[in-house]
Amino acid sequence: MSMNYVFGFSLFLLLLVALNIYFFYTLIPMGKKSVDFKNVPSIKLDQSPSVFKDIYDYLNYLPSQYKSRNSKFFTLQKTLLTSFSPSDNIQDDWPDLSQVGTGSSLYPHKNSVAGQMLHAMKTAPIVLVDNAPKGTQLKLLLLLEGKQKLYFKPKRYERDHIIHGSIVAGFDRHNSEVFAYYLAMTLNFTWIPPSVIRKIHVDREIVPVATIGLKRTMIRNGNGGRCIYGKCFYCKINETVCPDNKGEIEGAAILYLDKPFQFQVFKSPWHRNYRDSKLMEWQRDNDFCKKVMGTLSTKRILDLVDISIFDFLIQNGDRHRYEMYKDRILLLDNGKGLGNPAVDELDILAPLYQCCIIRLTTWKYLELLSGSSLTETIKLMSAFQGAKLVTEDHFKAVERRLLKVYATVQYCIGRHGSAKVFKA
């Protein structure tokens, strides 16, 4: 073997070692573990925006504080539970709602008022039932004794049913409306109408007080039960809602926002394309927020960032428009959440990772909810009404997504620094 060959081979080995050392210190940050691939989402990262890869890198190296309980939340949790626990002498009477939309929340909820209100929504006698023709899917309008009105979105799927396909596939999920209410209240996003699971007996509670219009949209099934197909944009006579073997229909009872609530409706800059597979501009351009900042105020963008976090946690990708009341965005129409607990569509967070701003108050509140405190609180609050909202897989999914929200904010801090990310 010639000396030139030995020298060349030795030089090759030296270069190989040097390259290994370089990539080790360049790709693996000092003092951190290697990437935990079990945290990688169920998407093909090589086909997704590069920002997704950066966010998942931050996810793998999240500080431990975001996976542990924050003791500072215990006091807030106790206050929330007091708000939702029925009082000892609970009655069917409605609480005083004269201050609706005038304070720091859409409806009063403190000092057991929320618990009293949900109890009344669940149990108050129904004096009139009609179709609620607005919207794309079947809803009923209930008039209760006491003149309160409820929207009623009937159950279409069992709790463990998984919706496959696009983020907007399938019927609305009634339990998503109710889960969204508890989630919003836990996040301190209090501009949302109350919602509760209610069961209604068709023959005893609907038929005797149904309008002629509603009765015209009812047919009998093979078992003799009265089924409803309703009146809406997508309502079809072959897509009915039928009573169970007890003669009941389960659904989400949502407090109806009656006059004087006059909303302003706006199209979301981050709305999706429902007609074909063509991507919207925000899905193609990660600098899309620069254009939005030229048309919307910082306050409005911060509102949309808050909503994107809320929608991401339940995977509601159907926020194509939003409603404003007294310069606040209302969290209405939350039925497209909870489709598939195994999927996290990260692009719902586009307002956050493209604008890279968030209210400091929102961020501090999110930090308090680490270590399963978020879903634990929802379980405790909803237990007062005795209804199981979702499967355990959905609770785990919400906690997993909360970690991704933390990682997205960390990604923004890494790019721009805390001073530019957090807004008063």
Q: Which residues are catalytic?
A: 318
Q: First-to-last CA distance in the chain?
A: 73
Per DSSP, the residues of 380-391 read HHHHTTT---S-
Structure tokens at 268: 């979301």
Q: Which of 253, 87, 113 is nearest to 190 (CA)?
A: 113
The angle at the Cα of 400, spanning 284 to 310, to the nearest 5 degrees, equals 60
The residues, ordered by sequence, that sit 6+ positions from 292 with a Cβ below 8 Å of its Cβ are: 269, 301, 355
Q: Is the dihedral of CA 116, 119, 121, 126 positive or negative?
A: negative
C-alpha to C-alpha distance for 251 and 140, rounded to whole angstroms: 10
Distances (CA, A) of 12 to 19, 22, 104: 11, 15, 69
C-alpha to C-alpha distance for 309 and 232, rounded to whole angstroms: 30
For 155-202, list the strands marked E by DSSP. 195-201
Residues 123 and 226: beta-carbon distance below 8 Å: no
> Can you say whether residue 240 is alpha, beta or left, with left for phi > 0 and alpha for psi between -120 and 50 degrees?
beta
C-alpha to C-alpha distance for 114 and 190, rounded to whole angstroms: 12
DSSP 328: E
Instruction: Kindly state the helix (H) or strand (E) to which residue 342 belongs, with its residue range.
Output: none
Residues 54 and 354: beta-carbon distance below 8 Å: no
